[in-house]
Structure 1
Amino acid sequence: MKLIEHYIMVEIRRLVAILVGFLIFIFASYSAQRYLTEAANGTLALEVVLDIVFYKVLIALEMLLPVGLYVSVGVALGQLYTDSEIVAITAVGGSPVRVYKAVMFLAIPLSIVVTIMSMYARPWAYTQIYQLEQQSQSELDISHLRAKKFNTNDSGRMILSEEINSDTNHLTDVLIYTSSGNKTNVYRAHSVDIIDPSPATPSVMLHSGTAYTLKHQGIDDSERIYRNLDLNLKPLTQSADDKRKAKSVVALLRSFEPADHAEVQWRESRGVNAFLMALLAIPLSRVKPRQGRFSTLLPLTVLFTVIFYGGNICRSLVASGYLSVNPGVWLVPILMLVGVIVLISRDFGLLQKLFR
């Protein structure tokens, strides 16, 4: 590898390490704060928070790594332009090819890593998260419940208890709220024994209380006073979108659902997007001497916003059937490739030669 390429790569690598490390720290801190709040509210078991944060960071890397490289290329090359180093390289016979080669030496392996993570690590991490959340939120493990707090889960269940005895799985002065379909059930009990804490068939025995059934439509509400009531609670179920994110690529390819095709195209295009974004950052990094390397951040941000939201919009349109699966989510990478070709042609003077 020649000296110029090596010098440019060192500058970019240093910024990538700093920026990606900072982004991981910020994202992990935000995720930890969110899930610790849920644990404090009794929605999530405290012991699974760190595991979920780890899996969330692993999922986020498919976005953080490309963003880190994209911004680092723009800022590092912007600094070289500001210090007139690119001008000096050009003056001694260096061509734009040297800059593109240096960036490609970094972008190609990173795009391969991002593709592997998106295709395999991402669904695996989602599977682990959903299993932890389902186990924590569905199980009536006494250690997951907090006295005098609204213990809720994503299935629409809430349990409020004045006292909790972890030795006997016994709750005192309990209010249970469940909602499903077109009705809401509210149970008031003097005491409750947890019979089955399993995620699949959670059930409790209520003693001495009142059960209310409230219809969402009409006036057919009911009230029942009971001495003992065996109550089977609704288990936590994953939404279709959650299940899709955890599906393997093979399962998605076998499906005929447009949403599944959108998901697999999204995964397949992550590495290509990372590579093209790095190349697009090269022309955006050009600044005048002494203008400041961070002056490139505005155009870099605008372009990234267009790419990010454009990809999300295409995925939603494919999933809803409003956009054909061909090109589908690949529409954004195709437009990016066209932009890269035009910019490279301009750098190498090909357009001027073609239109002479």
Structure 2
Amino acid sequence: MYLIERYIVAQTQRLVLTIVGFLIFIFASYSAQRYLTEAANGTLTLKVVADIIFYKVLIALEMLLPVGLYVSVGVALGQLYSDSEITAIFASGSSPIRLYKAVIFLALPLGIIVALLSVYVRPWAYQQIYLLEGQSQSELDVNRLEPRKFNVNDDGRMVLAAAVDPETSILTDALIYTSSGDKSSVYRARSVKVTDPSPATPAVLLHTGTSYVLQHQGMGDKESYYHELNLHLKPQLQNINIRRKSSSVIMLARSVTPADRAELQWRESRGVNTILMALLAIPMSRIKPRQGRFATLLPLTVLFTLIFYGGNLCRTLVANGTLPVIPGVWLVSVAMLAGLILLLARDFSLLSKFFR
């Protein structure tokens, strides 16, 4: 690596570490605030919260690393332009290609890391999060239930009990509400024994009470009395979008569902887009001498917004079948590459007549 390239890499590398570290801290703090609220409510333990935050940070790295590199390249080169160092480099006979070579030294390995994070680490981290949340939910039925409060889960099931005994898994003077399809069911019991707390196969044993089946339409309401009733509650189903996020690349590649193809293309394009974003930051960092290195932030922000929302829009359009799978999510990468080629042509005066 030549002197100029080493100098630019050193200036950019320090900024990358600082910006990415700051972004990780902000993201981890936001995630901690969200999950600590659930810990305070008794839904999650502190250890589970710490593990989930760790996995969340791993997932976010596929976005934080490209953003950190993109901003660092723009700000570092903007500082060099502001101090007239880039002008001196070009005056010494160096070509603009030296800037691109220097950025490639950083962008290429970082792009490979982002690709590995997106393809392998991201789905694994989602699997771990869902496993932790599932284990916490399995403990929720008794250990996390609060007496004299409406305990509601994501599926709309509500449990109200005058007293809760975690050691015996017994609820005293309890009311259970469930809803499915065109009817709702209400169960009133003197005591309830939780026989299976698993989210997949929840079951309870009710002693001495009344059950009500309420039809949402019509007059088919029913009331019945029981001495003992073994009740299997509706399992908590995992959202299909959640399963897709934790699916392996092989499973997504075998699927013909547009949403699965969109998820696969999104993962595959992360590494390429990281490199393209870093290269696009080079011409976007060009400013006048003594203008200030942060003058590049506005154009960099506008370009990043277009890339970010363009990628999300393409993924959504591919998932619902509006945009064809080819080019699909890769449309943003193709647009970035086309823009980069035009800017490179301008820098090397291949299209000088169009930029006079």
Q: TM-score, normalised by structure 2?
A: 0.93
1: CA distance, partners of 2:214 / 2:138: 23
Q: Which residue of 1 aligns with 2:64?
A: 64
Give the match's secondary structure for 1:321: coil
1: CA distance, partners of 2:107 / 2:51: 30
Give the match's secondary structure for 1:108: helix
When the two chains are superposed, the root-mean-square deviation of aligned CA atoms in Å is 2.0
1:223-279 deviation line (CA, Å, top 9, x unaligned): 334333222122222111111111111111111111111111111000011110001
1:29-72 deviation line (CA, Å, top 9, x unaligned): 11121122223334445442111111111111101100110111
With over 3 angstroms needed to count, the CA separation of the structure-2 counterparts of 1:172 and 1:2, relative to structure 1, is: same
2: CA distance, partners of 1:292 / 1:219: 74
Q: Which residue of 2 aligns with 1:261?
A: 261
Q: Is 1:26 the counterpart of 2:39 in the alignment?
A: no
Counterpart of 2:183, as a letter, is K
Give 1:187 shift.
Answer: 2.6
Aligned length: 356
With over 3 angstroms needed to count, the CA separation of the structure-2 counterparts of 1:222 and 1:141, relative to structure 1, is: closer
Q: How does 1:291-330 map to 2 (within 5 A)?
A: 291-330=291-330
Q: Which residue of 1 aligns with 2:73?
A: 73
Which stretch shows the higher mean deviation, 214-223 or 2-11? 214-223
1:179-228 deviation line (CA, Å, top 9, x unaligned): 32233323333322111223332211223333333333344333334333
The answer as to whether partners of 1:175 and 1:189 remain within 8 angstroms in 2 is yes
Q: Which residue of 2 aligns with 1:232?
A: 232
Uncovered stretches (5+) of structure 1, i.e. residues with no partner: none
The answer as to whether partners of 1:202 and 1:232 remain within 8 angstroms in 2 is yes
With over 3 angstroms needed to count, the CA separation of the structure-2 counterparts of 1:171 and 1:295, relative to structure 1, is: same
2: CA distance, partners of 1:321 / 1:351: 38
Q: How does 1:164-203 map to 2 (within 5 A)?
A: 164-203=164-203
Q: Which residue of 2 aligns with 1:3?
A: 3
Counterpart of 1:217, as a letter, is Q
Counterpart of 1:180, as a letter, is S
Q: Which residue of 1 aligns with 2:209?
A: 209
Q: Which residue of 2 aligns with 1:333?
A: 333
With over 3 angstroms needed to count, the CA separation of the structure-2 counterparts of 1:179 and 1:297, relative to structure 1, is: farther
Give 1:354 shift.
Answer: 9.5
Percent identity of equivalent pairs = 68
Give 1:156 shift.
Answer: 2.5
With over 3 angstroms needed to count, the CA separation of the structure-2 counterparts of 1:205 and 1:8, relative to structure 1, is: same
Q: Is 1:245 the counterpart of 2:245 in the alignment?
A: yes
Give the match's secondary structure for 2:329: helix
With over 3 angstroms needed to count, the CA separation of the structure-2 counterparts of 1:249 and 1:334, relative to structure 1, is: same
Give 1:112 shift.
Answer: 0.4
The answer as to whether partners of 1:41 and 1:149 remain within 8 angstroms in 2 is no
Counterpart of 1:259, as a letter, is A
2: CA distance, partners of 1:215 / 1:135: 34
1: CA distance, partners of 2:308 / 2:281: 15
Which stretch shows the higher mean deviation, 134-143 or 343-352? 134-143
Counterpart of 1:159, as a letter, is V
Give the match's secondary structure for 1:350: coil
1: CA distance, partners of 2:355 / 2:167: 84
With over 3 angstroms needed to count, the CA separation of the structure-2 counterparts of 1:160 and 1:19, relative to structure 1, is: farther
1: CA distance, partners of 2:281 / 2:188: 62
Which stretch shows the higher mean deviation, 6-15 or 336-345? 6-15
Q: How does 1:26-175 map to 2 (within 5 A)?
A: 26-140=26-140, 142-175=142-175
With over 3 angstroms needed to count, the CA separation of the structure-2 counterparts of 1:150 and 1:50, relative to structure 1, is: farther
Which stretch shows the higher mean deviation, 269-278 or 138-147? 138-147
Counterpart of 1:249, as a letter, is V
Counterpart of 1:167, as a letter, is E
Q: TM-score, normalised by structure 1?
A: 0.93
With over 3 angstroms needed to count, the CA separation of the structure-2 counterparts of 1:328 and 1:170, relative to structure 1, is: same
Give 1:84 shift.
Answer: 1.5
1: CA distance, partners of 2:295 / 2:186: 59
Counterpart of 2:197, as a letter, is P
The answer as to whether partners of 1:42 and 1:151 remain within 8 angstroms in 2 is no
1:301-336 deviation line (CA, Å, top 9, x unaligned): 111111111111111111111111110110000000
2: CA distance, partners of 1:249 / 1:287: 42
Counterpart of 2:284, as a letter, is L
Give the match's secondary structure for 1:162: strand
Q: Which residue of 2 aligns with 1:270?
A: 270
Counterpart of 2:94, as a letter, is G
The structure 1 segments of at least 4 consecutive aligned residues displaced by more than 6 Å after TM superposition are 353-356
Counterpart of 2:77, as a letter, is L
Counterpart of 2:32, as a letter, is A
With over 3 angstroms needed to count, the CA separation of the structure-2 counterparts of 1:248 and 1:305, relative to structure 1, is: same
1:154-191 deviation line (CA, Å, top 9, x unaligned): 23323233322122112223232323223332333332
With over 3 angstroms needed to count, the CA separation of the structure-2 counterparts of 1:177 and 1:25, relative to structure 1, is: farther
Which stretch shows the higher mean deviation, 61-70 or 166-175? 166-175
Counterpart of 1:40, as a letter, is A
Counterpart of 1:328, as a letter, is G
Q: How does 1:215-226 map to 2 (within 5 A)?
A: 215-226=215-226
Which stretch shows the higher mean deviation, 241-250 or 138-147? 138-147
